[in-house]
Structure 1
Amino acid sequence: MMRNELINEYFEWMYQLVCKDAKGLSYRKLLCKLFDTPFNYTIAMDGNRAEDGVDLRYRFGYECGFDNSAVADCLDDKDCSVLEMMVALAIRCEEHIMDNPDIGDRTGKWFLDMIVNLGLEKMTDDRFDKRYVERILHQFMNREYKRNGDGGLFTVHHNRIDMRSVEIWYQAMWYLDEVLKS
């Protein structure tokens, strides 16, 4: 398999994981932009989210029958992307925290919740605005969002801590705690 074919298959695998429930909307352009954007972080512990994103490559390889060497050769020549980090985080939220067989897999819900909170839900293929997306991603990675997380990945309404000062994992846990209480 050629390098570009494996990269495209990886992208499609991620897309299906998180956008299969997008109610007929296509977010391919947005997810391509997220895939092309390196995940940069300023809080050291967010490096764990980047590691999860890189590990996602090997989950893809395992689930789709690719050798680790093929994954490494084709995918490990770049840092974790924003898309990989967000998909890996959505999977971790579902599988490690919110798993409920009675409800089913909500990985796509957690991902789309992040897209909505970032303010990117209107960036469907027919309305995609590259400059707007770049501005939003810059604000997110530079933590230029509101104290309660609005404009970042997670908004938490009943928290006294400035979300801009804590790692993404804590933000996710506080958000999921509010989801469970609602």
Structure 2
Amino acid sequence: LDDNNVLGIAMGTSEAVGYVDKNGCVTGWLNELAFMPVDANPEAMADEWSGDIGCGVKYFSQDGVIKLAPRAGIELDESLSPAEKLKVVQGLMEAGDDRAAKVYASIGTYLAHALALYYDFYEFKHVLLLGRVMSGKGGDLVLDTCKRVLADEYPEIAGKVFPSLPDEKFRRVGQSAAAASLPEIK
């Protein structure tokens, strides 16, 4: 990106978030957005670790994909691991399955609303989207949907916030690469 003011979101087994401010510094904040509520619906999925409902981790991780799959008409074999279930949905997406597209479009919609909320606290400029969930055509659709929803529903920030995807390899190992390139500690 060659810029500061970046919020990095990795969507994989969980949701991991990092933030570099406008001065290129890592703040003293915890950035535990995985446990920040993004859905106030009383029927929202509960996070087994925190006990809270509507946490980002249940929307921006493989759990989100797994939760949405049956609602989109995709039956997943219960004997599969969560990572294997994600691979099934990703395979359907790569094959052009409309049901899988609904899953990723929903995640993109959730993401746009969450970014508007996150922006109230961080005022980031760039959003770098990483992790297994963002791999392939599914990640492309999440990004496209997110940008559209931001423009339609949050025009006041849509021109200030720039979500993006790195290349495929960096998407999958992005956290490691980002951590290895952290700025010098001042």
User: Fold match, TM over 0.5?
Assistant: no
TM-score by length of 1: 0.30
Length-normalised TM-score, structure 2: 0.29
Higher relative strand content: 2
